[in-house]
Amino acid sequence: MTGPHPSDAGNLHEPPQAVYGEARWPMAGAVVTAAVLTLLLPDDLRLGPRWALPLVEGLLLVALIAGDPGRISRRSAALRAASIALVGVLACGAIWSTFQLVDDLVHGGSETNSADALLQAGGSVWASTVLAFSLLYFELDSGGPAARAHSMPPTPALAFPQHLSPELNATHWRPRYIDYLYLGFTNATAFSPTDVMPLAPWAKIAMAVQSAVSLLILGLVIARAVNVLV
pLDDT at 136 over 50: yes
DSSP 17: P
Burial of 27 (0-12, 13-18, 19+ CB in 10 A): buried
Q: Are 132 and 34 in contact (CB under 8 A)?
A: yes
How far apart are the two ends of the chain, measured CA to CA in Å?
Answer: 92
Burial of 154 (0-12, 13-18, 19+ CB in 10 A): exposed
175: helix, coil or strand? coil
pLDDT at 13 over 60: no
pLDDT at 105 over 90: no
- Mean local confidence (pLDDT), 158-183: 82
The Cα-based distances of 138 to 38, 66, 103, 146, 179 in angstroms read 21, 19, 30, 11, 9
pTM of the model as a whole:
0.85
Annotated domain spans of the chain: 22-229
The residues, any chain, with a CB within 8 Å of residue 64's CB and separated by 6 or more, are: 24, 79, 82, 83, 86
Q: What is the pLDDT of residues 80-95, one digit of tens each?
A: 999 999 999 999 999 9
Q: What is the pLDDT of residues 189-216, one digit of tens each?
A: 988 888 899 999 999 999 999 999 998 8
The residues, any chain, with a CB within 8 Å of residue 128's CB and separated by 6 or more, are: 34, 37, 38, 90, 93, 94, 97
Q: Are 59 and 115 in contact (CB under 8 A)?
A: no
- Average pLDDT over all residues of the chain: 84
Question: What pLDDT was estimated at residue 203?
Answer: 95
pLDDT at 111 over 70: no
Q: How far does CA 173 lie from the centroid of its chain?
A: 19
Q: Find the helix or strand (DSSP H, E) in which 95 lies.
A: helix 77-107
72: helix, coil or strand? strand
Q: What is the pLDDT of residues 30-70, one digit of tens each?
A: 999 999 999 988 888 888 888 899 999 999 999 999 998 88
Report the residue count for the chain. Answer: 230
Question: What pLDDT was estimated at residue 229?
Answer: 56
